[in-house]
Structure 1
Amino acid sequence: MTTPPRPTRPGLRSGAVLLPALLSGLLTALAFPTQDVWWTAPLGVALLSAATFGARPRLAALGGLAHGLGFFLPTLSWTGIYVGNLPWVALSTLEALYTAAMCLVVAWIQRPLLATRLRPLAYAAVPLGWVLQEAARGATPFGGFPWVRLAFSQADSPLAPFARFGGAPGLTFAVTALGVLVHVACRALAVTSVRRLRRVHGPAGTGPGRVLAGGLVVLGLAPLVLALAMKPPTDGRPVSVLFVQGNVPRAGLDFNAERRKVLDNHVQGTVAAAGRAATPPSLVVWPENSSDIDPFDNPDAAADIRLAVETIKAPILLGAVLDGPAPYVSNASLFYTPGGGEPGRYVKQHPVPFAEYIPYRSFFRNFSDKVDLVARDFTKGDRPGAFEVPVKGQAPYWVVPTICFEVAYDGLMRDSTLQPGREASILAVQTNNATFGYTAESEQQFAISRIRAIEHGRSVVHVSTVGVSGFINPDGTYVDKTSLFTPAARFGSPVVRTEVTVADRLGQLPEYAAGLAALLLLAAGRWSRRRTARVEAAADPTGSAETRREGVVV
């Protein structure tokens, strides 16, 4: 005779879901800079998993929305620092809808599993759903917004080295799997305590459910064990690099009101650094927007840049805003070398919607006239960039530029790192954080660069107009980190490496695998539920088996 399955919780009150879900979002937000309490991320996942486990899909979706608002409103508060609350609340709400959809889908997958012996598999839907949710919001709408992903909260976590194997999606899976294990452990402890209080001693669980539960524990702990056992390598050929954080006259949207001053700050910082250097560096890196005066149209700007190049006697990689191609402007990285010649050029491939271009401008103007702050849209580059850096007496290496928010996009970073014939490289993240003032945005972006260093096994030169800037090692550690809104010029010795990590070889496979596994879970749950129903119907022809499936979960 079969054991009656334990069903979902049809009578669960909304408050028992929404309040813990909201708290879980606030708890998860603490894992991100500038709080940096990395272990609250798996705890937040555990609390959300517990709050929505067994809930009907609609109620689970509301729980996901509550979690999303509790999470995104604080972590993305910097988006409204100078443009008002509407863009901040709108973006946070949009992102929260993805967590609502995730919880709905997870509950839909879990529902048939909870009524069968495959019940332990219901827990696996949570990390799979989280990976798929982050993939969806990182691609849609308008190219997506993959900021504050769980992986990006783990730069100081013992889980961080797992980024070498699973990339950002794999690291998110590891965080959520750990969170689910916390949920399972707390649930088992609670059930055991209740049984002891009631002096109920049933037979030990047997069969496929126990085996699956053990398998889930192993699956959840495997990323942590692998991360702890495999420390990211930091070997390589050191090269001398200088970054210059020139600062701006004022923070805010009008940071470039004195564009010439911003350019002069970076020129003067480079010339002053040249006077301190015993030997020239192999490369100088300036940030995004270090020259908002187009040097191709302005001879004075070109002359100042050339002065800095010839004084430091090294190539300079700088960020510039270029006029064209008409009717657009370009956010570009320019590579100037000593001795003259046309600079190399990389154009940002992923301009930011509503910041560098306005989609459906006439429609969104109905909600805010601030869309016209972007007077001309930025064009979109069509290829990754890389510039060859000569080193006296040694083999050259490549510097691979990434501009601002591009560092958050998996595919773009992977394609840039894996350019054929340009494997011996360091990564340069050029950014301008002046438009976000003294908020957490700068630190959040620096944390993303740290995860990228681990994921791709590369040194990263992360440089901002106003900070924070620093040299990041291939294991995610950093040196010479700067403060906000202070001029700085720092010499460092990042190592050049050629490794292709497991994460780079896998590419998008972790996300595809998560989608396939979610479909298999759904199919397994529906198949097992139909099979259980047939067995119970044969054992009890009166039809009471269906009634037994409508009980309440302990």
Structure 2
Amino acid sequence: MPQPLLPLWAAVLTSVAGGFALDLAYPDVAWWPAAFVAVVLALISIIGRGVWGAVLVGFAFAAPFFLSNQVFTARYLGPVPWLALSLFEAAITAVLTVLIALAYRWLPRVLPGLWSRLIALPALVAGLWCVRELVVGTWPYGGYPWGRVGITQTNGPFAEAASWVGVTGLSFLVVAACAALIEYARAARFRDLRTAAPTAVVILLITAAPQFPTTDAGTLRVGSVQGNGPSGYFDGAPANAVLAAQLAATRPLYGQEMDVLLWPEGGLDSDPLNNSDTARTLDNVSERVDAPLIVNAATERDGLFFNTSILWKAGEGAVATYDKRHPVPFGEYVPDRWFYRLFAPDLIDLIQREYTPGTDAPLFDVDGVGVGLAICFDVIYDEVIWNGAREGAQVYMFQTNNADFRGTDENVQQLAFARMRAIETGRAVVNLSTVGTSQVIAPDGSVIDGLPVDEAGYMLTEVPLRTGLTPAVVMGDAVPIGIAAASLLSLAGLGLVLRTRRRAV
């Protein structure tokens, strides 16, 4: 068994530093090089560790990262949800760190050559790191794929690689580069420039590859309104106060030319599908701007509740709807309510409405233009975004409500996802919040227009349209599934070879 690079006490401290460094790579600081520092610190802590040592250093890395990165979840509900979510994700990460430790132990024994260490080992380690991200992002209750390494690169020179391999593929490349750099340093063959080639190749892949080009399809003139109304869960506002705020911020747009008017998630605090007064108000707004509306409300149909985006036209009403695919567990519904209520009944009982997941394609046809959709945290789920592009989205409109996270980094972290989605798909994104920050993002990830946080206002923007699918969208799940399957099968193969050798002896 190889000796650890660091004694256990030093590895734990190094892992803790790595966890905090990874958080620095996310907004509000958004220092993208910190992700490379974080991954290097995490990996040198794992090398040579046994099973329980790997669990310990994995937890020491993940706990400070999740606790600091997701502290916004404590904004209104207090420390219990924040601690539960962060520590649960840290526990999953810790257990799966054992796989990376096994890779460091097994591969050099089966393939002891220098080039195996410089090429195969970094690829396997990066793949198993992605396995950790994928498990956290899919399990339980649909997962929570928020803290992925790939997202840290939104502001950096490597973001364009996401258009080729997606967010998981970008995570793989970043971790592979870090792991290759470590092995290059461990080999201590600095005079032999050939040994630097694997590290250089990975870095070249994620820096030299330009964003995959999509095809110009004209523009769409979009009005978007940030009402800054009392839209938080605990705001205790009077009836239709949010609607009133949206109307007030919309009035300067009356009479101006536009192709569509967008309101944010929760921009309606009454259901226009069941409330005739709200329906008449939307008809009036649509007439005043002479354009269809894309609005959002909590709707009820057949006794079920949905978080619904609605395409509304004057005189026609709701011509299309899209229900949020991934309602937030313990935010928009409570899974296994009977069980969790045993531990925190007062907290669980705060969440009265149980949203049902939607099944429709995340796309509206707005007078011949395909508009891809994502409602709030849906933006972090890859398949929602890919599905929209495959169904014909030429532009994305993401509706969100960040009112429950005022004063935290949540809104700018979510904006980082929106910017990465623009790059990944080669399409512009209008990311509109009830309270901000709202932005219009170009297909290359640059910001075209914006509204600051906690201010009412509007944007009227010529938003570029694009057609054509990037490799990331075309390959879709094949990249993360391929990385995970190849990595797990390779690790299992290494274990089988070693077991066979032991039996032969």
TM-score (norm 1): 0.84
Once the two structures are superposed, what CA deviation does each residue of 1:238-257 show, in whole Å capped at 9, x if it has no partner?
Answer: 121011001123x7432363
From the superposition, tell whether residues 350 and 526 of structure 1 become closer, same or farther in structure 2 (CA, over 3 Å): closer
Match of 1:54 among 36, 45, 48: 48
Once the two structures are superposed, what CA deviation does each residue of 1:347-393 show, in whole Å capped at 9, x if it has no partner?
Answer: 11211110010011121112222111111201121122322222xxx
From the superposition, tell whether residues 150 and 31 of structure 1 become closer, same or farther in structure 2 (CA, over 3 Å): same
Unaligned runs of 5+ residues in structure 2 are: none
1:169 is matched with 168
CA positional deviation for 1:27: 0.6
CA positional deviation for 1:524: 5.6
Match of 1:268 among 248, 252, 270: 248
CA positional deviation for 1:234: 7.6
Contact 2:402 2:433 in 1 (8 A): yes
Separation of aligned partners in 1, 2:217 and 2:233: 40
Whichever residue aligns with residue 122 of structure 2, its letter is: Y
Aligned pairs for 1:162-201 (under 5 A) are 162-188=161-187
Once the two structures are superposed, what CA deviation does each residue of 1:438-463 show, in whole Å capped at 9, x if it has no partner?
Answer: 10000011110111111111111100
Separation of aligned partners in 1, 2:295 and 2:236: 16
From the superposition, tell whether residues 382 and 233 of structure 1 become closer, same or farther in structure 2 (CA, over 3 Å): closer
Describe the SS at the equivalent of 1:264.
helix
Once the two structures are superposed, what CA deviation does each residue of 1:241-276 show, in whole Å capped at 9, x if it has no partner?
Answer: 011001123x7432363341111121222222124x
Match of 1:446 among 415, 428, 445: 415
Aligned pairs for 1:406-421 (under 5 A) are 406-419=378-391
1:244 is matched with 225
Matched, 1:154 2:172: no
Match of 1:507 among 471, 476, 481: 476
Match of 1:430 among 396, 399, 404: 399
Superposed CA RMSD: 2.5
From the superposition, tell whether residues 526 and 370 of structure 1 become closer, same or farther in structure 2 (CA, over 3 Å): closer
**How many percent identity over aligned positions?**
33
Once the two structures are superposed, what CA deviation does each residue of 1:437-489 show, in whole Å capped at 9, x if it has no partner?
Answer: 11000001111011111111111110010001111111111122221111010
Describe the SS at the equivalent of 2:454.
coil
Aligned pairs for 1:36-435 (under 5 A) are 36-116=30-110, 117-118=112-113, 120=117, 121-188=120-187, 216-217=198-199, 220-227=202-209, 229-230=210-211, 235-249=216-230, 252-255=232-235, 257-275=237-255, 277=256, 280-326=257-303, 328-368=304-344, 369-390=346-367, 396-419=368-391, 423=392, 425-435=394-404
From the superposition, tell whether residues 156 and 10 of structure 1 become closer, same or farther in structure 2 (CA, over 3 Å): closer
Describe the SS at the equivalent of 2:225.
strand
Whichever residue aligns with residue 222 of structure 2, its letter is: V
Contact 1:267 1:304 in 2 (8 A): no
Separation of aligned partners in 1, 2:499 and 2:301: 62
Whichever residue aligns with residue 340 of structure 1, its letter is: E
Separation of aligned partners in 2, 1:298 and 1:516: 50
Whichever residue aligns with residue 485 of structure 1, its letter is: D
Once the two structures are superposed, what CA deviation does each residue of 1:19-64 show, in whole Å capped at 9, x if it has no partner?
Answer: 1011100011100010110110011001111111121122112111
Separation of aligned partners in 1, 2:274 and 2:393: 34
TM-score (norm 2): 0.92
Whichever residue aligns with residue 269 of structure 1, its letter is: A
From the superposition, tell whether residues 231 and 344 of structure 1 become closer, same or farther in structure 2 (CA, over 3 Å): closer
Worse-superposed segment, 308-317 or 266-275: 266-275
Once the two structures are superposed, what CA deviation does each residue of 1:80-99 show, in whole Å capped at 9, x if it has no partner?
Answer: 11101111011001111232
Whichever residue aligns with residue 277 of structure 2, its letter is: D
Considering Cα pairs closer than 8 Å and 6+ residues apart, tell me whether 1 or 2 has the greater RCO: 1
Contact 2:294 2:312 in 1 (8 A): yes
Separation of aligned partners in 1, 2:418 and 2:305: 26
Once the two structures are superposed, what CA deviation does each residue of 1:398-433 show, in whole Å capped at 9, x if it has no partner?
Answer: 2122111101001122112211xxx25211110000
Whichever residue aligns with residue 217 of structure 1, its letter is: T
Separation of aligned partners in 1, 2:469 and 2:2: 46
1:472 is matched with 441
Whichever residue aligns with residue 282 of structure 1, its letter is: D
Matched, 1:460 2:433: no
Contact 1:438 1:484 in 2 (8 A): no
Worse-superposed segment, 514-523 or 481-490: 514-523
Describe the SS at the equivalent of 2:248.
helix
Worse-superposed segment, 376-385 or 511-520: 511-520
Separation of aligned partners in 1, 2:363 and 2:436: 24
Describe the SS at the equivalent of 1:329.
strand
Separation of aligned partners in 2, 1:286 and 1:32: 27
Separation of aligned partners in 2, 1:220 and 1:9: 27
Contact 1:234 1:474 in 2 (8 A): no
CA positional deviation for 1:523: 5.1
CA positional deviation for 1:290: 0.5
From the superposition, tell whether residues 28 and 342 of structure 1 become closer, same or farther in structure 2 (CA, over 3 Å): closer
Unaligned runs of 5+ residues in structure 1 are: 1-6, 193-203, 391-395, 538-554
CA positional deviation for 1:325: 3.0
Larger Rg: 1
Once the two structures are superposed, what CA deviation does each residue of 1:150-187 show, in whole Å capped at 9, x if it has no partner?
Answer: 12211111110001010111111122123223423444
Contact 2:163 2:211 in 1 (8 A): no
Separation of aligned partners in 1, 2:225 and 2:492: 56
Contact 2:72 2:410 in 1 (8 A): yes
Separation of aligned partners in 1, 2:393 and 2:45: 48
Contact 2:224 2:261 in 1 (8 A): yes
Worse-superposed segment, 163-172 or 503-512: 503-512
Once the two structures are superposed, what CA deviation does each residue of 1:504-528 show, in whole Å capped at 9, x if it has no partner?
Answer: 1111112222123323532564477
CA positional deviation for 1:219: 5.2
1:519 is matched with 488
Separation of aligned partners in 2, 1:84 and 1:481: 31
Describe the SS at the equivalent of 2:173.
helix
Whichever residue aligns with residue 176 of structure 1, its letter is: V
